[in-house]
A and B are shown apart, each in its own frame.
Chain A
Amino acid sequence: MRIPLAVAAFASLLATSAALAQSTLEAVQKKGFVQCGVNVGLAGFSQPDSQGVWKGIDVDLCRAVAAAVFGDAGKVRFTPLTAQQRFTALQSGEIDILSRNTTWTITRDTSLGLNFVGVNYYDGQGFMVPAKKKVKSARQLNGATVCVQPGTTTELNLADYFRTHNMKFKPVVIEKLEEVLNAYFSGRCDVYTTDVSGLVAVRASRAPKPAEHVILPEVISKEPLGPAVRHGDDRWFDVVKWSLFAMIEAEELGLGSKNIEQQAGSPNPSIQRFVGASGDIGKMLGLDNRWAVNIVKQVGNYGESFDANLKPLGFERGLNRLWTQGGLMYAPPVR
């Protein structure tokens, strides 16, 4: 999988002529669907269900963009990507959006030729160990063997953390999630490390016996996860950014998939603008004026997406509550 993708990426980087004039929005409208890069399988973020339908908050963001652009959340195709494939896929134009629990860092924002549109999950890196090891704190992990996926900020934070605390570790670096988890569950490693959201999802959905694994209390990094688009296409950047903000704003306004049609007649001027009854915000984005209604009606607001995908796995809202409830989720005004 990796090699053909890399080859495709080169071919496209080498052979496409420098004048890549057409904007992504036009290209997407022309082909009739949004091509969205997602995780190959991380419960709650992006994973196909038993019917093969992709589910998760990252998947919902892709659907929201499709709803905004086409008025139909179904006009999206998913490209499952490993951590190593994801940036090349976006850079080469194989996908239009990368919505794959990707940490926003300055290096990625500046040197990889992509732009992060915002944050759809505030996360941090943690450690999971088998309960029978009786480890209570990450500070007791000196000399441990740690399973980790390559090409992630996780791999760097891990090295930083052990360096800072003057501890040693042996990494076992495996690209595919199944294989790295096999290595951890078979006892090849003492510890599995990734973002806490990933640990919770893996423990709930992949561990043979979830109760036999504990997540240590230390959260060793800031991992703001968010969707990204290619650098240099501001219109598409705006569309994806505001699709995400629309989901957050809708929750703040009390608009959800069940009530948005009734609320469309509300005299509240914020709601009027949001649903496109007044003003022409949709047109400013180059979209239909009902763009936000389509997102909320077909996909739901941020809270609905969270409750449908993450809550059943045992996730707390925590930092991902709205700012009005003490969290960090904050959308700039839709006006």
Chain B
Amino acid sequence: MKARGLALQAALAAALALLAWWLYSNAAANLAARGISSGFAFLWREAGFEIGETTFAAYSAADTYLRALAIGLANTFRVAAIGVVLATLLGSLVGLARLAPNWLLARIAAAYVETVRNIPLLVQLFFWYAVITDSLPPPAEALEPLPGVFLTNRGIFFPLPGDVPQLSGFNFSGGAALTPEFAALLIGLTTYTAGFIAEIVRAGILSVPRGQVEAARSLGLGRRAELRHVLLPQALRLMVPPMTSQYLNLTKNSSLAVAIGYPDLVSIANTAMNQTGQAIEGVAVIMAVFLTISLSISAFMNWYNRRSALRGLAA
């Protein structure tokens, strides 16, 4: 019995390998027949295009495609990392608000969840981008809500210690800046994902047996202590697996950045593919990177899941 199972599995693996080899050799032959270059040598060639914003590292048009892709990856990381944190905070607040005894608060939270979950994310991104670029003034008429902080349709400029943004020529220079593309993408991803996270939080809390709440009340715990010491520790275990998939979704959805011009990995890879014509290699890079990111998040969350599960009742 066992031997037959093993043989079947081996045959399946062999068939898959054969199929992969067939697809690969076909692609290689077709590319060669059509005179399309292939291989990854292009990564070390000069990219020749500029990138609007960079995270951590500098970049110029004289750098290589490899560096351009790395800049894109860093930009993806930046928006995904900040997005995950903000979406978790906002989602938890909204989730708790939906369960609040205050009728109005619960209704507002419910309306929020239904709105963001039922409008396609791409449309929401266009909306936020339009809000920022159409409603904020040009640099020359910038709003200054706080000294040194400027709101413009070129982005939001903050002062750094000893480095205050100044209007020079076409735009502000100096200080730190949040571009409209980054801001729109971050707001869009955060508010959208928070809608789903809110429901996960609500479901997690509601799944804790009613008796636990009654026990907490009969011990004389306040609402806050009840949440912190009784409800959340039990709810958290149930929330971790669905949260993982929301984090993965947020990271993958960040590739919609192309539509509003945020230079994330997909946007840079698309440009590279177009300049070099090497679409297969470009898409392979994108897939490998997203697979790595997603598997890493998954691995971390699984570890966290095991850890939090052990502390629970099931242990």
Which residues from chain A sit less than 8 Å from chain B, CB to CB? 2, 6, 9-10, 13-18, 20, 83-84, 87-88, 91, 107-108, 110-113, 141-145, 150-152, 155-156, 158-160, 162-163, 169-176, 179-180, 182-183, 186-188, 190, 230-232
Contacts and interface: CB of A to CB of B under 8 A. Distances in A.
Give the one of A113, A160, A163 with max B CB within 10 A.
A113
A171 B60 CA distance: 12
B27 A160 contact: no
A162 B50 CA distance: 10
Given A13-B280, A158-B50, 11 more contacts: A84-B274, A87-B277, A111-B37, A143-B173, A145-B171, A151-B270, A170-B50, A175-B258, A188-B154, A230-B34, A231-B35
B259 interface: yes
A303 to B, nearest CB: 33
B277 A183 contact: no
Contacts of B27: 10, 13-14
Contacts, number: 150
B43 interface: no
Interface in B180-196: 180-181
Nearest to B53: A170
B133 A145 contact: no
Contacts of A163: 61-62
A17 B22 CA distance: 10
19 contacts: A14-B26, A16-B26, A18-B33, A84-B270, A84-B271, A91-B279, A111-B35, A111-B37, A113-B31, A151-B273, A151-B274, A155-B49, A158-B49, A159-B48, A172-B52, A173-B261, A186-B134, A188-B154, A190-B171
A121 B261 CA distance: 29
Contacts of B280: 10, 13
A183 B184 CA distance: 13
Contacts of B270: 2, 84, 150-151, 175
Contacts of B48: 156, 159-160
Contact of B271 (A150, A160, A169, A187): A150
B259 A87 contact: no
B277 A108 contact: yes
Contact of B275 (A16, A91, A156, A172): A156
Given A15-B23, A111-B36, A176 B31 contact: no
Contacts of A183: 133, 261
Contacts of B134: 186
Interface of B: 23, 26-27, 29-31, 33-37, 48-53, 61-62, 126, 130, 133-134, 138, 153-154, 168-171, 173, 180-181, 258-261, 263, 267, 270-271, 273-277, 279-280, 283
Contact of B259 (A14, A159, A176, A231): A176
A159 B168 CA distance: 21
A169 B168 CA distance: 13
Contacts of B283: 6, 10
B271 A151 contact: yes
B26 A155 contact: no
A171 B50 contact: yes
A159 B49 contact: yes
Given A10-B280, A14-B26, A179-B259, A173 B271 contact: yes
A151 B275 contact: yes
A155 B49 CA distance: 6
Contacts of B31: 13, 113
B35 A232 contact: yes
Contacts of B259: 174-176, 179
B133 A190 contact: no
A190 B153 CA distance: 11
Q: Report, nearest first, the 7 A-B pairs whose CB atoms are least far apart.
A: A151-B274, A113-B36, A159-B61, A112-B277, A18-B29, A113-B34, A174-B261
A91 B26 contact: no
Contacts of A150: 49, 267, 270-271, 274
Contacts of B275: 107, 151, 155-156
A170 B171 contact: yes
A82 to B, nearest CB: 10
A144 B271 CA distance: 21
Nearest to B25: A18
Contacts of B276: 111
B309 to A, nearest CB: 37
Contacts of A10: 27, 279-280, 283
Give the one of A142, A160, A175, A176 with max B CB within 10 A.
A175
